Amino acid sequence: MADVKKCTFCGGDIEPGTGKMLVKKDGTIQYFCSTKCENNNKLGRIPRLTRWTVTGIAQKAKEKEQKK
């Protein structure tokens, strides 16, 4: 049974046989579910500040809860 990987940028699940794996010179491995995630990572965007990512949604909910 194959492992389900998590996207490095958005935190979404990557099914076996899909997505991209990037191995950097320092040996770190990054998994991307789509080119959208890969390009956002290249541009240096922060996932928790991006609204559509899992961490971005959690951050927005946390801020909303603190306002109450």
pLDDT of 68 > 80? The answer is: no
Number of domains in the chain: 1
Residue 14, domain CATH: 2.30.170.20
Known binding residues: 7, 10, 33, 37
Mark the binding-site residues for Zn(2+), compressed into ranges: 7, 10, 33, 37
Burial (CB count <10 Å: 0-12, 13-18, 19+), residue 53: buried
The model's pLDDT over 11-44, given as tens digits with 9 standing for 90+, comes to 999 999 999 999 999 999 999 999 999 999 999 9
- Domain, as residue range, for 17: 5-67
Q: What is the pTM of this model?
A: 0.81
CA-CA distance, 33 to 36, in Å (whole number)?
A: 8
Q: Are the CB atoms for 30 and 22 separated by under 8 Å?
A: yes
The single-letter DSSP state of residue 42 is: H
Percentage of the chain surpassing pLDDT 70?
Answer: 99
Closest to 5 in 3D by CA, of 29, 28, 36, 23? 29
